[in-house]
Amino acid sequence: MKRFVFAMALALTAAPACAQLFGADELLEPERAFRLTARALDERNVEIEFRIAEGYYMYRDRFSFATESGRRLGGVAIPRGELKEDPFFGRTETFRRAVRMRVPVSGEDIRRGNVKLKVISQGCSDQGVCYVPLEQTVSVTLSPR
Amino acid sequence: MTCMDRLIAAACLLAASFAVTAGEAEVRRMTQDKVSADRIQSIEKVPWGELFEVVVRGPDGPQIFYVDAEAKVIIVGQAIDARSGRNLTESRKRELTRVKWESLPLQWAITSQRGSGRRKIAILSDPNCPYCKRFEEDLAKLDDISVHILPWAVVQAESVRQAKSVWCSKDRVKAWNDLMFRRIEPQARTDCDNPIDEIIAYGRTLGANSTPTWFLENGERYSGAVPFEELQALLDQASPKR
């Protein structure tokens, strides 16, 4: 019984520290909240994946893709997000947990066998902040069939 | 304290300071192998244990690491005071990102005052950031406050046009609040002399990467729409009654 009481006391005193450790206190750097990976799907498509930390979300209409030189890439297949009808900000679609997108690459990239993509994204945390748009660059080796 | 005690104390202090400098050199050497010297902001022994704190300048402000005195391991994470539960790393970061209130470019702010205006806050805020809206709604409930809004148009391309138009409006406070709280688009032109581009650059030099980012009179910097009670407590703490 004594041991039990001691364990309880320890658990109680440790509680505030644990709450801080695992609580919503610390905001992640955007690169860690929205983890970007890329891989070649086939010889003309790259798959971009964002793994989104728990409690964070990304906006569907804020993704944009460009080549290294800054040429905007179109025709990107982005799945439908979770629809939110906000009386203030209008219709928004957001993603939680993860989102995968297919980016078609140019003939020139295909001939070169690799592609460098600039990915711009934007998201927020449920803790009450929105990040400024994040620009990241990924390099992918294209797999010939 | 007897003379002998004093001598022993002095000897201990001396020994301790030698140990510190020795460790520090190790830590510095190891750190310089990993990051360029100009990115190392400081290396100091922590006041709470046998570790060194290494502060490295990152794109989003200072990053804190801990290193043992022999520079064998780098610890990445948060130090929590086991007794009080206080996040020591977080408080230190707040100290490092502190600004001088007087240095804030409040001439670029949209300022409103209620009551005595005693409690002061400056906010980097974007019209397309939902949490900025919530945060400003909370501030609007408070009396005895001066609110300085620096329109930091970074979330969307559209934000820049909106912020410039607000700045060019005859009544900036009204135009900003109409946009923030009622979604009434500002109607003024956008080509008047305005500081919006300068504010964007200014926020970046501070290493801010999220909205809302805000500052209190004591120079402390925070991110996010914190709960209302917490906000009130922080404001009172930073701007005490005189």
Q: How far is A2 from chain B (nearest CA, A)?
A: 22
- The residue assigned the tokens 């003024």 is B188
Would you call B156 and A62 a contact, using CB atoms and an 8 Å cutoff? Answer: yes
- The shortest CB-CB distance from B224 to any of A62, A127, A133 is to A127
Which tokens hold the place of B168? 């060019």
Tell me: the pLDDT tens digits for B30-85? 999 988 888 899 999 999 999 999 999 876 678 899 999 999 999 998 999 999 99
CB atoms A20 and B82 under 8 Å: no
How do the domains of chain A map onto residue ranges?
25-141
CATH 2.40.128.130, applies to A25-141: no
* Three-class SS state of B121: strand
The pLDDT value given to residue A79: 96
Domain B101-238 in CATH: superfamily? Glutaredoxin (3.40.30.10)
In chain B, what are the domain boundaries? 3-96, 101-238
In angstroms, the CA B214 to CA B220 distance is 8
Q: Roughly what angle, to the nearest 10 degrees, separates helices B157-167 and B196-205?
A: 120
Complex ipTM:
0.73
Cα end-to-end span (Å), chain B? 41
pLDDT tens digit sequence for A102-130: 999 888 888 888 889 999 999 999 999 99
Instruction: Note whether B231 contacts A: Cβ–Cβ < 8 A.
Output: no
Cβ–Cβ of B87/A26 closer than 8 Å? yes
All residues of chain B having their beta carbon less than 8 Å from the beta carbon of residue A89 are 128, 130
Architecture label for domain B3-96: Roll (3.10)
For the stretch A3-40, pLDDT in tens is 444 443 333 333 333 333 333 457 888 999 999 999 99
Model-wide pTM > 0.80: no
Tally C-beta pairs within 8 A across A and B: 76
Contacts of A16 in chain B (CB under 8 A): 84-85
DSSP-assigned letter for residue A77:
B
